[in-house]
């Protein structure tokens, strides 16, 4: 998604807004639209040409109210605009499309294997993946598309965690992108709707077959097959739906946080110099990158009963779409929201959602992002863009699909292939190549 700094008075005709249109996020200016809606109509109804409608929720505290209160806003009828107006077949079966107590019964055992503490022992493995999958290519001296490479990155640790064969990773990565960006011509296989249907069919069929022949063990799929939720084992379809959800969540969030954060550091070189001077700022930079990019663009809920939100009267059964990228620029919560600040405190962003549905994969994503940017800061002095930046056409994922970059200036000021030292660097730094993968 294009990230802009809106200027002038935030005025726009709210009825002219089309936040459903995926091209708004690839070639349009959604931040200007969200800023105007926050000022003029923070909870505003949009009706599509086919008669379906939903409420756009753009203010931080309203977004949090919708996401945290399942007694007023249910997840069980669907959580994404792609299924607006139809009953989600995963409702009550997939953790992301369930309300307590079903949601809690599934989430609590999964948290035992997905918490930061549980994943701590996997950090050396994740660091090796960082070197093998990204840094080795980043530093090889050629022009390289960091966004395209980052798209493959999460599959390496999520696929390993789930026990999925490496030969299947490239196709699974493409299928998850097809599922969230079916109208993007680069990922289409047929028309937009046909692409969405085909991606879902192939993913669910893949996991159904994989679960049936899974021998059990200590990977995540084995854990899902053996765990108890609410005093019983999960059914086959519940395991399949949750495998899909876990893979989708990993593959469509982390890569776009990487590319968007790198681009933000290119566009704000002073902030990157701060990281070079003080690598202890990396965790804050990762959080700011997540706020800045907000890769999961929206989550949807349905009103359980008639209610009021942000001055609007919502009827029972109405769909409400919370725009996380807008909430993360709310002027009432984030001072100077359009300034990228690696030391921003506090930074209570909602890039991973909020409340009971806070992304269960957030600890894994933050571990991977922190390790990656620790290594980048250690070995790269400066980045340069080498070609046009292309954004994903999707109303669900705020993503960058292409970010070509020139050979980076290494620590110490020289390019990988013998470039001359360059001035303006922060402090003396000794080149330290990454350790070889093992």
Q: Specify burial of residue 237 (Cβ count, 10 A radius: 0-12, 13-18, 19+).
A: middle
Give CA–CA dist 108/220, Å, rounded.
14
Coil, helix or strand at residue 193? helix
Give dist(CA 183, CA 177) in Å, integer: 10
pLDDT at position 436:
36
Low-confidence ranges of the chain (pLDDT < 50): 414, 416-438
CB contact at 8 A, 106 and 243: no
Two structure tokens written together for 421: 């030292």
Residues in CB range of 428: below 8 A, 6 or more apart: none
Which residues, including other chains, have CB under 8 Å from residue 276's CB and lie 6 or more apart? 377, 381, 425, 426, 427, 429
Distance CA(236)–CA(176), nearest Å, equals: 21
C-alpha distances (whole Å) from 161 to each of 201, 220, 250, 270 are: 23, 6, 11, 37
| Tens digit of each residue's pLDDT (9 = 90 or more) over 347-389 | 999 999 999 999 999 999 999 999 999 999 998 888 888 889 9
Please check whether residue 352 is in contact with residue 296, taking contact to mean a CB–CB distance below 8 angstroms: yes
Do 32 and 4 form a contact (C-beta atoms < 8 A)? yes
Enclosing H/E stretch for 405: strand 404-405
Q: Which helix (H) or strand (E) holds 206?
A: helix 192-213
Phi, then psi, of 358 in degrees rounded to 5: -50, 130
The pTM of this model reads: 0.91
Q: Which helix (H) or strand (E) holds 113?
A: helix 102-114
Q: Measured between alpha carbons, how far is residue 314 from residues 8, 211, 249, 345 in Å?
A: 31, 41, 29, 34
Judge whether 36 and 10 are in contact, CB under 8 Å.
yes
The angle, 0 to 180 degrees and rounded to 10, between the axes of the packed helices 146-162 and 362-379 is 130
Residue 50 CA to residue 86 CA, distance in Å, equals 13
141 vs 288: CA distance, rounded Å: 28
Q: Which fold has domain 57-389+402-410?
A: Cytochrome p450 (1.10.630)
Q: Is the peptide bond before 346 cis (omega within 30 degrees of 0)?
A: yes
ω into residue 302 within 30 of 0, thus cis? Answer: no
């Amino acid at each position: 998604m294009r990230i802009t700094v809106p200027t002038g008075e935030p005025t726009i005709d709210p009825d002219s807004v089309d936040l459903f249109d995926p091209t708004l996020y690839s070639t349009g200016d959604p931040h200007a639209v969200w800023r105007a809606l926050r000022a003029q109509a923070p909870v505003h109804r949009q009706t599509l040409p086919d008669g379906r409608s939903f409420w756009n929720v753009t203010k931080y505290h309203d977004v949090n109210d919708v996401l945290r209160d399942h007694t007023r806003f249910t997840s069980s009828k669907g959580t994404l605009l792609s299924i607006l107006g139809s009953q989600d077949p995963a409702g009550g079966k997939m953790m992301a499309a369930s309300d307590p107590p079903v949601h809690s019964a599934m989430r609590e055992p999964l948290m035992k294997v997905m918490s930061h503490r549980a994943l701590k022992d996997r950090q050396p493995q994740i660091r090796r993946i960082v070197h093998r999958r990204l840094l080795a290519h980043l530093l090889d001296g050629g022009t390289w598309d960091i966004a395209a490479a980052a798209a493959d990155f999460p599959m390496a640790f999520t696929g390993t965690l789930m026990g999925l064969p490496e030969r299947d990773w490239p196709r699974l990565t493409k299928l998850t992108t097809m599922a969230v960006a079916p109208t993007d011509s680069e990922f289409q296989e047929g028309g937009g709707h046909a692409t969405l249907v085909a991606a879902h069919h192939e993913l669910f069929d893949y996991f159904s077959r994989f679960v049936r022949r899974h021998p059990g063990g200590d990977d995540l799929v084995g854990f899902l097959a053996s765990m108890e939720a609410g005093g019983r084992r999960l059914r086959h379809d519940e395991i399949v739906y949750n495998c899909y959800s876990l893979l989708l969540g990993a593959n469509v969030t982390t890569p776009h946080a990487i590319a968007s954060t790198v681009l933000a550091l290119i566009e704000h070189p002073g902030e990157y110099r701060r990281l070079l001077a003080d690598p202890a700022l990396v965790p804050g930079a990762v959080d700011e990158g997540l706020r800045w990019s907000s890769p999961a663009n929206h989550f949807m809920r349905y009103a359980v009963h008639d209610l009021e939100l942000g001055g609007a009267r919502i009827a029972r059964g109405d769909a409400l779409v919370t725009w996380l990228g807008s909430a993360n620029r709310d002027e009432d919560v984030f001072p100077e929201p359009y300034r990228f600040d690696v030391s921003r405190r506090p930074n209570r962003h909602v890039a991973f959602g909020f409340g009971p549905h806070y992304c269960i994969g957030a600890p894994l994503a933050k571990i991977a992002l922190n390790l990656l940017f620790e290594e980048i800061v250690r070995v790269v002095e400066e980045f340069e863009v080498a070609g046009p930046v292309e954004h994903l056409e999707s109303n669900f994922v705020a993503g960058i699909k292409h970010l070509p970059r020139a050979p980076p200036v290494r620590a110490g000021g020289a390019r990988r292939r013998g470039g001359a030292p360059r001035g303006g660097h922060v402090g003396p730094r000794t080149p330290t190549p990454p350790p070889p993968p093992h």
